[in-house]
């Protein structure tokens, strides 16, 4: 089961808010789709510079594997406070732990109570993946 302490998007990003900051990353499902379980297939990740302002839904970077390139989209508006240096140097972190060590960007939230109506909790995300697999 995926962590209950965050919200998930249909494009397989997650957001975990704490006070007026939020961590954003991609789900284990997204990682597996990119690398088919072979962590060596992840070859490149482009993350934004700290200080960049992002609007909800905006593409903030991309991740590349030997078979695909995927855009990274922010589910919430905010300003990039920091990026995870471990990812740019060691993409296998995403395969091993996309939930804690594999966070991608930390944002200063534009609004504390951001709109979660388009996001899912862990149970709804599980159901979304299950429905997607059967369609």
14, containing H or E segment: strand 13-18
- Domains along the chain? 7-133 (2.40.50.100)
CB-CB neighbours of 113 under 10 Å: 7
Q: Which residue has the tokens 């397989």?
A: 12
CA–CA separation, 39 and 58 (whole Å): 27
pLDDT digits (tens, 9 = 90+) for 55-105: 999 999 999 999 889 999 999 999 999 999 989 788 989 989 999 999 999
* Residue 132: band (very low, low, confident or very high) from pLDDT cuts 50, 70, 90: confident
Task: Report how far apart, in Å, the C-alpha atoms of 64 and of each of 47, 76, 92 are.
Answer: 12, 23, 12
Residue with tokens 């920091």, as numbered in its chain: 82
Residue 15 is classified by DSSP as E
pLDDT in tens, 14-49: 999 999 999 999 999 999 999 877 777 899 999 999
């Amino acid at each position: 089961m995926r962590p209950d302490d965050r919200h998930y998007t249909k494009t397989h990003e997650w957001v975990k808010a704490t006070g007026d900051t939020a961590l954003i990353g991609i789900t284990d499902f997204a990682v597996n789709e990119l690398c088919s379980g072979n962590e060596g297939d992840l070859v490149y990740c482009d993350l934004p510079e700290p200080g960049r302002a992002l609007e909800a839904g905006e593409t903030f970077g991309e991740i590349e594997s030997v078979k695909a390139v995927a855009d990274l989209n922010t589910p919430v508006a905010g300003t990039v406070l920091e990026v995870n240096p471990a990812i740019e140097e060691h993409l296998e972190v995403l395969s091993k732990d996309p939930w804690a060590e594999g966070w991608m960007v930390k944002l200063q939230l534009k609004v504390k109570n951001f709109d979660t109506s388009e996001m899912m909790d862990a149970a709804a995300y599980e159901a979304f993946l299950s429905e997607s697999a059967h369609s």
